[in-house]
Structure 1
């Protein structure tokens, strides 16, 4: 066949693939917009006139009439009590008192989230306007997550774009920006490992892509902390990339690891990049308002695992301690961080075992495992955290019935937990289906998270993301490969 004809066929195939990709992304984005629009309509029904003098809608937090999905939103709740309604710049002038109450613009979130809240309040004079402005800020992040997931795993992104969590939580709290950073870091690593059609080489060196991804994770840490956990597996991925213990000599484990020529420089750069990013974003607040900056950390440290933290501790341990007494709080205060730390070490070790077997460290799976352990054992487990874990169900080859079970349990939990809060607050008679729904949601999700601590690392990545990784796989036998 003439060369010109082969070139024409290649161009036709490329055009067809590009057309399919565009149709897929447009469909995913349209579904995302529909889900976020419906989610906004649900949340805004808690607001509207008339308003109290501070801008709080008289309809908040229960809305008007009977609704299937609860309209309560942390976005609207935070309008008062944190000086957001007074447009006070966050952290700089604030403090926390002995009772754990925040004052003068301090919010109980890392500084980047506090800045987004301040921006959302500009021009807003009531909680409903604040919700609208916040939704306008958040929606682009939801679309960007959809696009990145679509590029990496194609139609599997439907689990993100067209399922209840996006409707229920897109505008419940400030989750979409932090989820975007975790997905973007993975996308950066995937793009760096993919081949440039013109040269056949990587688009970026491993060190370059990993440092950029680490910076992104550092930004995520200043939004909601958890992306910062992923720096450790990313650093190990760089450290071990292109190295194996096969034919690395004999002797002790440590001598064989030294013989493998590990990339310590690249791994250290990953850690430094994240640390410098976190410091650069936090340093202005630390210098200009140390007391206010520290107050947000103190608030989280003083939080107790009570009903509104929605964790396994409240729904499990308190039944054995006779309530949320001092014994209960002491056990949670020690057991929670220890179990989280143990899970992190366990996940990193499982990743090391995969590296011994396959020659590459599964940093995405290890990151998902660490997140699952954090969500399971932390004393706070808000329903909207489902948005944190959902992209990993999308990116990794998790069995679809597990995803269905998790989303179903989460939906049941969301439809009942906020009604439970209302019953407790009003001292009304408890409805059996509310308590049943909350317990089903909490324990089914917890059981799945417990299993996924191991399974996330074992299942591997979905296509075509997995193929990108395979193109960059190191040789099975020991060979020092330059970064």
Structure 2
């Protein structure tokens, strides 16, 4: 299937590009409306005295309308409108108290903002959806600029319906795509683009951590001189100062955002980190560790402890190993092509994280979709991943429903296993593909890009903007 800016409504020319953007944005808006209505099936009157929808517990799994947004109305003092982190902490058994939440500070701030004026979980869900929607639309606009009609995978694909309002993922995805947009589209020198993109990735870290890993390949891209539009006299020399500036911009952003929270309430700020460190690979995490390694251990407490200790060592070790392999392959690609494939390496590192991390929540698929849009992964692989993802996104909740009601679980457990292992297998394949394939339709300044190499180091077709 050909993806590019030269066909139909996505054809060349200013009018066609405008039509493409409008089409994608409208479809994204419709998809977001459907996504909200899907989650809203779990919310509404009558409400309990604490503002929880009375039907939530009984229908969330059966109707597959569960969302962390609605669930966390209670248990984090969100319903009490307490400003996050400042007065919070975590108990020895891992319970968060006093406004502490398990996410980085900008996500906690969004949660607090969504609760303003809300006195039940339905209004909190609505307010949160309104806060998150602009990030999804901005992501759709950027992806259309960068990859043409492939952006429809984001704007009108099943993942946005299932997960747009499942958790607070849309802002962090937006920061990653915005960083890619700055590197491809901004009319600035390479150092300035690298620093700005790194600041965006730093903001992403303050939403959901994972964009921090992309700073390393981004810095290597700056170090090695970028691509052909960045070449010039002396460009063959490594730009150590530019690379260090990229890393410093990311670190400075993270410190600037986190420091006020850490100073105002260190225990509450630190609690979010401790919570994630204490979380174990259980039945709610959808990871290969629970579905693959856990059955090899017994069910007694000692075996459970041994399993947790094994995962605590094996998971970070394999994640770091996958990062090293991706960076090494990126270096080889640079030696072959003269362009460090920072986007491809970033996507591969994300795949390594998703495969080996002890938690693989369904909504993490939203993290991956922009890389499937921006990098020319064969479409059969993309569709296969979406099938495995739907098996998890729907099957896991029906599985919980079957367990909770005493119904037979064999069918739903098989669906979940298919999703877990299908997704893991395809992530391993995507790890390799991201390091090889070119960008789908990179743009630079909206003008002719000629034979400029893509972020993967391969030539891309000529296109006029």
Matched, 1:317 2:297: no
Matched, 1:232 2:211: no
- The correspondence of residues 265-276 of structure 1 with structure 2, limited to 5 A, is 265-276=241-252
Cα shift at 1:52: 1.0
Conservation of the 8 A alpha-carbon contact between 1:179 and 1:387:
yes
C-alpha offsets along residues 42-77 of structure 1, whole Å, 9 cap, x if unaligned?
10110111111110011114438964xx11000000
Aligned counterpart for 1:382 among listed residues 361, 374, 391: 361
In 2, Cα distance between the equivalents of 1:230 and 1:372?
12
What's 1:33 paired with? Answer: 29
Matched, 1:395 2:395: no
Cα shift at 1:265: 0.1
What's 1:481 paired with? Answer: none
Q: Larger deviation: 74-83 or 429-438? A: 429-438
Cα shift at 1:464: 3.5
Matched, 1:63 2:47: no
What's 1:452 paired with? Answer: 430
SS in 1 for 2:435: helix
SS in 1 for 2:436: helix
Q: Larger deviation: 461-470 or 394-403? A: 461-470
In 1, Cα distance between the equivalents of 2:84 and 2:118?
16
In 1, Cα distance between the equivalents of 2:143 and 2:450?
16
- The correspondence of residues 215-230 of structure 1 with structure 2, limited to 5 A, is 215-230=199-214
In 2, Cα distance between the equivalents of 1:65 and 1:370?
32
Cα shift at 1:395: 0.3
In 2, Cα distance between the equivalents of 1:99 and 1:65?
27
Conservation of the 8 A alpha-carbon contact between 1:48 and 1:128:
yes
In 1, Cα distance between the equivalents of 2:440 and 2:256?
35
Cα shift at 1:243: 9.8
What's 1:48 paired with? Answer: 44
Aligned counterpart for 1:117 among listed residues 108, 111, 114: 111
Cα shift at 1:367: 0.3
Matched, 1:441 2:419: yes
What's 1:415 paired with? Answer: 394
In 1, Cα distance between the equivalents of 2:226 and 2:73?
51
List 4+ stretches of structure 1 deviating above 6 A: none
Cα shift at 1:353: 0.3
Conservation of the 8 A alpha-carbon contact between 2:62 and 2:398:
no
- The correspondence of residues 83-94 of structure 1 with structure 2, limited to 5 A, is 83-94=77-88
In 2, Cα distance between the equivalents of 1:180 and 1:303?
26
- The correspondence of residues 64-463 of structure 1 with structure 2, limited to 5 A, is 67=63, 70-192=64-186, 203-241=187-225, 261-323=237-299, 325-424=304-403, 426=404, 428-463=406-441
Cα shift at 1:417: 0.2
* Cα 1:169/1:473, change in 2 over 3 Å: closer
In 2, Cα distance between the equivalents of 1:142 and 1:280?
25
In 1, Cα distance between the equivalents of 2:454 and 2:161?
38
Conservation of the 8 A alpha-carbon contact between 2:439 and 2:454:
no
Conservation of the 8 A alpha-carbon contact between 2:44 and 2:122:
yes
TM-score, with normalisation over the residues of structure 1? 0.86
In 2, Cα distance between the equivalents of 1:381 and 1:453?
16
* Cα 1:98/1:238, change in 2 over 3 Å: same
Conservation of the 8 A alpha-carbon contact between 1:243 and 1:262:
no
In 2, Cα distance between the equivalents of 1:232 and 1:61?
43
In 1, Cα distance between the equivalents of 2:450 and 2:410?
49
Conservation of the 8 A alpha-carbon contact between 1:310 and 1:382:
yes
TM-score, with normalisation over the residues of structure 2? 0.90
Cα shift at 1:148: 0.4
Cα shift at 1:472: 7.4
Task: Give aligned pairs, total.
Answer: 434
* Cα 1:38/1:62, change in 2 over 3 Å: farther
In 1, Cα distance between the equivalents of 2:454 and 2:360?
37
In 1, Cα distance between the equivalents of 2:399 and 2:292?
17
In 2, Cα distance between the equivalents of 1:326 and 1:403?
37
* Cα 1:431/1:163, change in 2 over 3 Å: same
What RMSD, in angstroms, separates the aligned Cα atoms of the two structures? 2.1
Conservation of the 8 A alpha-carbon contact between 1:61 and 1:72:
no
Cα shift at 1:422: 2.9
What's 1:251 paired with? Answer: none
* Cα 1:61/1:39, change in 2 over 3 Å: farther
* Cα 1:16/1:392, change in 2 over 3 Å: closer
In structure 2, stretches of 5+ residues that fail to align are: 1-10, 229-234, 458-465
In 2, Cα distance between the equivalents of 1:53 and 1:412?
36
* Cα 1:468/1:56, change in 2 over 3 Å: farther
* Cα 1:375/1:470, change in 2 over 3 Å: farther
- Choose 1 or 2 for highest CA Rg: 1
